[in-house]
A = this chain, B = another copy of it.
Amino acid sequence: MLLFAALLIFPPDVAQRLIGGALSDGAAYARLAELSDTIGPRLSGSPGAEAAVKWALQKFQQDGLSAHLEPVKVPHWVRGEERGEILPSKYAVGHPLALTALGGSVGGTATGEVIEARSLPEIAALGEQARGKIVFLNHTMGVKGGYGDFVELRTKGPSEAGKVGAAGVLLRSLATASLRSPHTGTTTYDPGAPKIPAAAISVEDAELLRRLLQRGAVKVRFALGCRWLPDADSANVVADVRGRELPDEVVLLGAHLDSWDLATGATDDGAGVAIVMEAGRLIAKEHPRRTVRVVLYMNEENGLAGGNGYAAAHQAELSKHVAALESDSGAGRPTEVRVHAGAPGAALLAPWLTPLESLGITEVIDGEASGADISTLGPASVPMVAVRQDGTHYFETHHSAADTLDKVEPEALAKSAAAVAVVAFALAEMPQPLPRPAPTLEPHRPEGPKPPAH
């Protein structure tokens, strides 16, 4: 659905303040720098996560939003020391492995011969051959992406390998670039399956394993110091710009405050946090018709306790959640708007989005627009809207030690904040809300779909 530049439904002065503010004041980047550099990694249950909750509450209050915490219990997994090696054999020296535990893995040591599998069915097909061995989960994710195609190897592969008696799992990192850098991410064990240690190895180490397997048998050993602690108390941070006419109708802007522990989570999802906070800050001055609610979810990465907790706590109000938008695709420039609100949704929204043309967005696409945290609102038929972003470099650093502030281009971040501000204001101001789509059947997902880079 093309935008209609001739129509000036969106108040031009508001557009100017939202876009001009986002592009000129550097506030989103400054806030992201503060979150990344002064608070640091924010895995659920960690001191960093708790510091981030307090920080966000204070910032919202400074911005003039009405903010509060909504408690959630979160899983508490900690990494510890970790190391691994390819053992020397008669035809090759040993090599250290650049590895990192998958989030949620049990700790322990695993030693065994390596056996390769490239899909969940291939793991199952190994059967008795896998007993006592280390299953090497290989795949073809490369510079062109493919995260969505292979993420199941990480989330389910270790459990599948446990079922066939493997001693451990080494996953080729899900990454589009590598300088010997392993990428973590959550894995989930089936309750009935044996829990075996599981780690990601760098792309280089995966390539080395593959080459050595062509020479003969390969044995590895790795030790993970990770462990599970009792669930921790944490919170979603919820901040409202109260609607001037329809305060009970809510446009929800979400991002997740937690991050993996290996880096400062500047792009996953510090950028999303900065984008929705900036949108909230700018919209607070504009007094839209409906309430705009910024929700900084806790525990997107390894549990979705925040997404589930919000949906449960607000069940009674979800029929008045008129739209939800999640920002969890990094810090790239905005590329398009998607809306999932039944067929007429895009047509209804398009005339309101003409200010986005100045940001290079000329179309509203009717399509999938959900996110991990807001997917929990799907059963309540909440319309979903997404500002898609350029993801060219997203999976180069995703879930790795290199997800740091230097990967963020301030101008691109500001443009995405501007786009989200415009979209949110439009949703909060348009006379008729979006039509509601059919409810999604799945109440929630254990881990949300990260948007593939391509």
Binding site for B on A (CB under 8 A): 33, 37-40, 47-48, 51, 91-95, 98, 177-181, 203-204, 207-208, 211-212, 215, 263-264, 396-397, 400-402, 404-406
Contacts and interface: CB of A to CB of B under 8 A. Distances in A.
23 contacts: A33-B211, A37-B92, A38-B93, A39-B93, A40-B94, A48-B93, A51-B93, A98-B401, A177-B179, A178-B179, A178-B402, A179-B179, A179-B180, A179-B181, A179-B396, A180-B181, A203-B406, A204-B404, A204-B406, A207-B405, A208-B404, A208-B405, A208-B406
A47 B93 CA distance: 10
A450 B264 CA distance: 34
B40 A93 contact: yes
Nearest to A204: B404
B212 A37 contact: yes
Given A204-B404, A208-B406, 12 more contacts: A38-B91, A38-B93, A39-B93, A47-B93, A179-B179, A179-B180, A179-B181, A179-B400, A179-B401, A180-B263, A207-B405, A208-B404
Given A51-B93, A93-B51, A263-B180, A402 B38 contact: no
A210 to B, nearest CB: 10
Nearest to A48: B93
Contacts of A95: 40, 264
Contacts of A400: 179-180
User: Which residue among A181, A215, A404 has the maximum number of chain B CB atoms within 10 Å of its CB?
Assistant: A404
B179 A397 contact: yes
Given A98-B401, A179-B400, A401-B98, A207 B406 contact: yes
